[in-house]
Structure 1
Amino acid sequence: MSKRIRVDVAYDGTDFSGWAVQPGRRTVAGELLAVLERLFGSVEGLTVAGRTDAGVHATGQVCHVDVPTDRWDAFGDSLVRRLAGLLPPDVRVLAATVAPPEFDARFSALSRRYEYRVADTPYGASPLRRRDTLAWPRPLDLALLNAAAAGLVGEHDFAAFCRRKEHASTIRAVSNLSWRRDPDGVLVATVQADAFCWSMVRSLVGAQLPVGDGRRPPSWPGSLLSRTVRADEVAVVPAHGLTLVEVLYPADVAALRERAERTRRRRDVPA
């Protein structure tokens, strides 16, 4: 018999070739699977909420895995501490809890929330935050950034901001896209949506930064939503400024099942 376990994970993505297992490359899933298999003997179905790219970080990543019930019961409350002693220092399991069989880390998710950090100070990013903060060479205006962001909120076809995959939809529902300036002076973009396609968050940020520094009008990013193919003039900002901070799920089992079924349906037209 097996139990489904929800695993909450944080990692510094600098030295990883992304989440997914790749032969000959160091990945987050590869490190995690190696340790889980060492502890449980066998694990099945490791599934993640968001397959982050190389260099992208996470403080709130979620995955699920099925493990033998007897081994799970043997660990009790010591599993997280055991994992901390076995995993490399740039990846940590924050929590491991029993989940219902209906829980699917990917398809049951209601939304994912990312943050992107940008320093526009003359000296660039702080040395202690250089791994998770982009240094931008021009001063940025917070009001202009938020004006650009407003035109991208809602359910749209984000083909202009995605690297298209065959037979995959580029329709997404962005529920929050906003900027703030933290006390340390760093600008932080919050981007929350039901799901994201490949390179979408970094492209959305890349389209807004030229507005923030005055080179594009605030209406420009939103105007790209009429495109049906990727906009080549939109830069994909570097991965290291991006962090997955939260994944939200329904609270009850029936809602988990319904959400997973709805997510699996391919969207062709924005609502």
Structure 2
Amino acid sequence: MVVRVRLGISYDGSGFAGWARQKEGQRTVQQEIEDALRIVTRSGGTVYELTVAGRTDSGVHARGQVAHVDLPDEVWAAHREKLLKRLAGRLPADVRVWEATEAAPGFDARFSAVWRRYAYRITDHPSGVDPLLRGHVLWHDWPLDVDAMNEAARGLLGEHDFAAYCKRREGATTIRTLQELSLLRGGDGIVTATVRADAFCHNMVRSLIGALLFVGDGHRPPDWPAKVLAARVRDSAVHVVRPHGLTLEEVGYPADELLAARSRQARNRRTLPGGGPAAGCC
């Protein structure tokens, strides 16, 4: 018998080649945590594989990442009380496991999620980025009109085929429901974009931000990002912005009694009205 354990994770993505373990032996978040887990549980050659809510790309940060791991009953019973402290002693300083609890029945870190929320941080200050924030904030060297960016963002909300803003993957759908896309300039001058969707396809957030920056600095009108979306093909003018401004902030799940149903639903093939089937949710 096994116990499914829910993990809450944060990391600075600067030194990682993304979340997922790489065949080439590059340093990844998944590998660091799985290796630490193997050592602290004294499992020898057994690797307890993690399933994650959202696979972040190279250089992308997370403060609210969620994963699950299935551990044998006896391993969980022997280590549950001191697992967090032991992991803290083994993990490098740029990744932490903050939570390790027995998951509710039906929980799946990936398929039970109903939304993922990211933040992308930008400054248009003429002097550049505060050196203490340089690993987490993008410098855009044109003044930004945040109101125009928000006007453009509203035209992207809802369920659409985001093929124009995604790097295609064989057999994967690009249909997503964008639940929130808004930008706010803080008192420090940093513009924070909040992006929330049921799921994201590869490069989607960074491409959306790239399009909005073109609107914000006056190179395109506010209706341009929606026209790109409607075309459903990549536009060479849409730049994929650098990853270091992006942070996975939070993952949302339904009530415990709805977890299993959500997991089943998320595995269904997605379609748009009048369209053909599309494979996979995430």
TM interval, shorter chain, is over 0.9
SS of residue matched to 2:82: helix
Instruction: Give how far 1:79 is off.
Output: 1.5
Aligned counterpart, 1:27: 28
Instruction: Give how far 1:82 is off.
Output: 1.4
CA deviations on 1:191-245 (whole Å, 9 max, x unpaired) are: 0000000000000000000111111100000111212322222000000000000
> Quick check: 1:19–1:51 contact (8 Å CA) kept in 2?
yes
Aligned counterpart, 2:143: 139
> Quick check: 2:181–2:193 contact (8 Å CA) kept in 1?
yes
Amino acid at match of 2:83: L
> Quick check: 1:156–1:270 contact (8 Å CA) kept in 2?
no
Aligned counterpart, 1:162: 166
Amino acid at match of 2:17: S
Amino acid at match of 1:245: E
SS of residue matched to 1:30: helix
> Residue 111 of structure 2 is aligned with which of 107, 113, 137?
107
Aligned counterpart, 1:67: 71
> Residue 217 of structure 2 is aligned with which of 213, 218, 225?
213
Amino acid at match of 1:263: A
Task: Tell me how far apart the structure 1 counterparts of residues 14 and 269 of structure 2 sit (CA, whole Å).
Answer: 33
Aligned counterpart, 1:269: 272
Runs of 4+ in 1 over 3 A off after TM superposition: 42-45
Aligned counterpart, 1:257: 260
CA deviations on 1:144-182 (whole Å, 9 max, x unpaired) are: 111111111111111100011112111100110000112
> Quick check: 1:21–1:29 contact (8 Å CA) kept in 2?
yes
Instruction: Give how far 1:43 is off.
Output: 4.8
Task: Tell me how far apart the structure 2 counterparts of residues 249 and 17 of structure 1 sit (CA, whole Å).
Answer: 27
Aligned counterpart, 2:130: 126
> Quick check: 1:157–1:270 contact (8 Å CA) kept in 2?
no
Unaligned runs of 5+ in 2: 275-282
What fraction of aligned residue pairs are identical, expressed as a percent?
Answer: 55
Amino acid at match of 1:230: R
Aligned counterpart, 1:173: 177
**TM-score normalized by structure 2?**
0.93
Instruction: Give how far 1:44 is off.
Output: 3.6
**TM-score normalized by structure 1?**
0.96
> Residue 150 of structure 1 is aligned with which of 154, 170, 177?
154
Aligned counterpart, 1:232: 236
SS of residue matched to 1:77: coil
Instruction: Judge which range, 228-237 or 69-78, deviates more.
Output: 69-78
Task: Tell me how far apart the structure 1 counterparts of residues 50 and 3 of structure 2 sit (CA, whole Å).
Answer: 13
Instruction: Judge which range, 122-131 or 34-43, deviates more.
Output: 34-43
Task: Tell me how far apart the structure 2 counterparts of residues 175 and 154 of structure 1 sit (CA, whole Å).
Answer: 6
> Quick check: 1:155–1:270 contact (8 Å CA) kept in 2?
no
Amino acid at match of 1:38: I
SS of residue matched to 1:62: strand
> Quick check: 2:34–2:49 contact (8 Å CA) kept in 1?
no
Does structure 1 residue 77 correspond to structure 2 residue 81? yes
Alignment of structure 1 residues 10-49 onto 2, 5 Å: 10-23=10-23, 24-40=25-41, 41=43, 42-49=46-53
